[in-house]
Amino acid sequence: YQCLVWLLLIAGAAAVEVQRPRGVSLSKERQFYEDGKPFTCLDGSKTIPFDRVNDDYCDCQDASDEPGTAACPNGNFHCTNAGFRPVFIPSSRVNDGICDCCDTTDEYNSGAICQNTCKELGRKERESLLKIAEITKEGFLLKQQLIQEAVRGVDDRKAKLEEVRSGKGDLETRVEALRTIKETAEQPEREAKERHLKAWEDQKAAIRVEKDKARMAQVFLELDEVPDGFVTLGDLLSHPELDPDSDGSFTDAEAQGLLGGVDHVDTFGFESVWSNIKDKYTSLVKPSLAPEEPRQDEAPEPVSDNDSELYPEEDIDYEEDYKGSTSTQTQDKKDDDGEGTMPPYDPQTQELIDAAQKARDEFNEAERALREVDDQIRNIEKEISFDFGTESEFTYLYNQCYEMTTSEYVYKLCPFNRVSQKPKYGGSETSLGTWGKWAGPADNVYSVMKYEHGTGCWQGPNRATTVSLICGTETAVTSTSEPSRCEYLMEFTTPAACQEPQSPDSLYPPVHTEL
């Protein structure tokens, strides 16, 4: 409606000018004297005879003595433009053969043929301004509805906030009760798992002992080359890798030291020697391509009487957790030492695990629900406290997005959230900024939105977008541009930006025939 003030100067009929020097506006008429009386420059610097006004010679420094000629380079000519809006043009454009004033008064002595178009221009402008007035009126009515909806929305959110807060207390109580149930169920589960692990470790230790004994027996046979049932100094000295100090000289004394101070040992004595040499010993016997098949009349010796009952031979996925965690995980990989997979839990242990897992699931579900309630409370509090305008008229834009497609890009504006740009024919989305603040002038701060800290430009700043809000009956992005590198400008129409219309009397002032 700022542009409507021009209607104050629009007349509906032909105007009659008062007697004043050519190029002088009505507002300055009284500063000029009648013909024959002296004229004082408007800046007060000089007084001249009135007949030197508009004599095509510049006497005043402020060019006030030549309002109707092009004599002064800094002069201005006033176009009355009766029926349209008055304007000032540079004096250099007076009598230049081009009609700048719609009332043709600037070409009074150039011979140019001009048509007075002020009435037609005024008519078109009035039609345009009336159309704008209608849009503003309709938009302002929509704005009042938006304000009412925002007020109801705030009341609804406040009621919802109280409801959620009251429900949170019950949920917190449930979470703590389920925490106790979970911890109670996890204690016997943990103990049962530890027992199961200990049994498995004990079995693996027994297997390692048997393997070590078998290897010791094999090495004894390899060292006893005679064979006479003894391992001697010579047998050891044939393996230089057994040199205790690894100095490249394996002596009889060092070999005798490995044998415990004697010259030879039998299979029983070799047990004490084995612990000193097993980490260094390298077999000279080439391994067979295939393992020796057991004789059909021999059965493998069990580790213990009840091993076949405790640990079945088949590999079964195993749920493992022995490091302090209470979660159940499935293990199906072999142990690093080749001792097989962990056997499955016995039914009693599995029952404890299942009970504990059920308690964990119920606790986790309740805890997740509590986190969701906390998020819901924060979101409602944010909406209630957010600055949506003087009367919350912009509330309806929250959680909404609006798009505009150009020949190259799809632009998306999500008010109070972000602005983005995406190639029309495929490609990744680029952030043009996230919500920053209201950035309009002091007298209309809610007329401009600022979005900052978008994706950085190559060797440049982060992208940012300024959104100008324009009164309209529709809510839409109407234009986008990039006036400077990485700085984007959008125009966004919304009823929430409409101001209260002026009264009809202010749009059409009385016509003054003396003009």
326-357 pLDDT, tens digit per residue, is 344 444 444 445 567 889 999 999 999 999 99
For 390-475, list the strands marked E by DSSP: 402-405, 409-414, 418-423, 430-438, 448-452, 464-471
Average pLDDT, the chain: 83
**CB of 270 closer than 8 Å to CB of 212:** no
118-149 pLDDT, tens digit per residue, is 998 988 888 888 888 888 888 889 999 999 99
Helical ranges in 60-117 per DSSP H: none
Give mean pLDDT, residues 294-301.
Answer: 42
Please state, in angstroms and rounded to a whole number, the distance separating the CA atoms of residues 296 and 284: 30
What would the two tokens of residue 326 be? 């209470």
Residue 293 has pLDDT above 90, yes or no: no
* One-character DSSP codes across 291-305: PPPPPTT--PPPSST
CATH top-level class for 395-497?
Answer: mainly beta
* Predicted structure pTM score: 0.54
**Interior CA angle at 14 toward 12 and 19, to 5°?**
125
Label residue 316 by pLDDT band (50, 70, 90): very low
What are the phi and psi torsion angles at 420 (to 5°)?
-140, 165
CATH 2.70.130.10 residue ranges of the chain are 395-497
pLDDT of residue 35: 57
Label residue 248 by pLDDT band (50, 70, 90): confident
CATH 1.10.238 residue ranges of the chain are 152-276
pLDDT of residue 199: 93
**CB of 477 closer than 8 Å to CB of 491:** yes
Residue 321 has pLDDT above 70, yes or no: no
pLDDT of residue 368: 96
CATH top-level class for 152-276?
Answer: mainly alpha
58-111 pLDDT, tens digit per residue, is 999 999 899 889 899 899 999 988 888 899 999 889 999 999 999 999 998 888
